[in-house]
């Protein structure tokens, strides 16, 4: 059978639902974010036409070139690092930001979020692997940062996000377990977090075992990315 985008989408949805049931989780509590970076608006439209609503983008400029050609009912998740000169575009056009880790960016996003829109839904990015090339806060810095986010009126703190290492199963699962523990610990300290954003094409199955509520899947849906053509 031809391996089309539509086919991959239907297969992935089925696999997610089956995997959820196998670990006693409700499929409707798992949000699939289709990560469309480097892929054209027509691919996003094709998945939209099949019912997909949540899409993730990393590069603000690239996303802006696509966003105005696509349906308004798309829920946009920003999952890449945000420079301060791009916060306005994000505050005005995104629904979610998964990658908060700097006070200055958080403050600008809150200030620039239009008052006629609901608050921006945000997650704090945790550098769970400790790799220096990765973004995010160390686990020990998260509590204080979450307290700060709660003071910003146009941000709604929803949870935590992480990118696990590209490593063996045991290492990745240890990182995911730490994320889950941090998530529980924050809720025990009075935060009402309902979002644990972790899991990508190569490790989403493990992420579901460790309580991920939002999985961000790119290449397993859209195919291999070609950064040169971006």
Ligand X SMILES: *Cc1c(COP(=O)(O)O)cnc(C)c1O
Q: List contacts with ligand X (CB under 6 A).
A: 35, 37, 58, 79, 163, 200-202, 216-220
Nearer to ligand X, 154 or 209 (CB): 209
Nearer to ligand X, 95 or 154 (CB): 95
Whose tokens are 């146009």? That residue is: 154
> Which ranges in the chain belong to alpha helices (H)?
5-22, 41-49, 60-67, 87-93, 103-112, 142-149, 169-188, 204-209, 219-222
Q: Which residues of 127-137 are buried (b: 16+ CB within 10 A; e: fewer)?
A: bbbeeeeeebb
Nearer to ligand X, 120 or 136 (CB): 136
In the bound complex, what is the minimum distance in angstroms from residue 172's beta carbon to ligand X? 13
Nearer to ligand X, 110 or 197 (CB): 197
Mark residue 190 as left, alpha or beta (left: phi above 0; alpha: psi -120 to 50; beta: remaining). Answer: left
In the bound complex, what is the minimum distance in angstroms from residue 98's beta carbon to ligand X? 7
Nearer to ligand X, 125 or 149 (CB): 125
In the bound complex, what is the minimum distance in angstroms from residue 225's beta carbon to ligand X? 7
Using CB positions, name the residue nearest to ligand X: 218
Neighbours of 54 (CB within 10 A): 18
Could you give the count of Cα atoms lying within 13 Å of 92 in the half-sphere of its Cβ? Answer: 9
Nearer to ligand X, 114 or 130 (CB): 130
Neighbours of 93 (CB within 10 A): 16
In the bound complex, what is the minimum distance in angstroms from residue 203's beta carbon to ligand X? 8
Distance from C-alpha of 96 to C-alpha of 77, rounded to nearest angstrom = 5
**DSSP string spanning 91-115?**
HHH-SEEEEE--HHHHHHHHHHS-T
In the bound complex, what is the minimum distance in angstroms from residue 222's beta carbon to ligand X? 8
In the bound complex, what is the minimum distance in angstroms from residue 115's beta carbon to ligand X? 29
């Amino acid at each position: 059978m031809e391996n089309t985008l539509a086919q991959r989408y239907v297969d992935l949805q089925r696999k997610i639902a089956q995997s959820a049931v196998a670990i006693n989780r409700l499929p409707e509590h798992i949000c699939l974010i289709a990560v469309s970076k480097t892929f054209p608006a027509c691919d996003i439209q094709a998945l939209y036409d099949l019912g997909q609503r949540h899409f993730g983008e990393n590069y603000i400029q690239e996303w802006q070139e696509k966003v105005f050609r696509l349906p308004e009912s798309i829920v946009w998740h920003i999952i890449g690092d945000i420079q301060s000169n791009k916060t306005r575009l994000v505050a005005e056009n995104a629904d979610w930001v998964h990658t908060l880790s700097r006070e200055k960016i958080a403050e600008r996003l809150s200030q620039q979020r239009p008052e006629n829109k609901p608050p921006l839904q945000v997650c704090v990015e945790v550098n769970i692997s400790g790799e220096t090339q990765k973004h995010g806060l160390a686990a020990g810095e998260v509590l204080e940062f979450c307290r700060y986010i709660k003071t910003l009126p146009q941000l709604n703190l929803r949870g935590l996000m992480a990118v696990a290492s590209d490593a063996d199963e045991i290492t990745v699962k240890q990182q995911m377990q730490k994320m889950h523990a941090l998530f529980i610990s924050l809720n025990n300290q009075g935060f009402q977090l309902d979002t644990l954003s972790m899991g990508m094409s190569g490790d989403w199955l493990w992420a579901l075992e460790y309580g991920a509520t939002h999985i961000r899947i790119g290449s397993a849906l859209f195919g291999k990315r070609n950064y040169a053509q971006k």
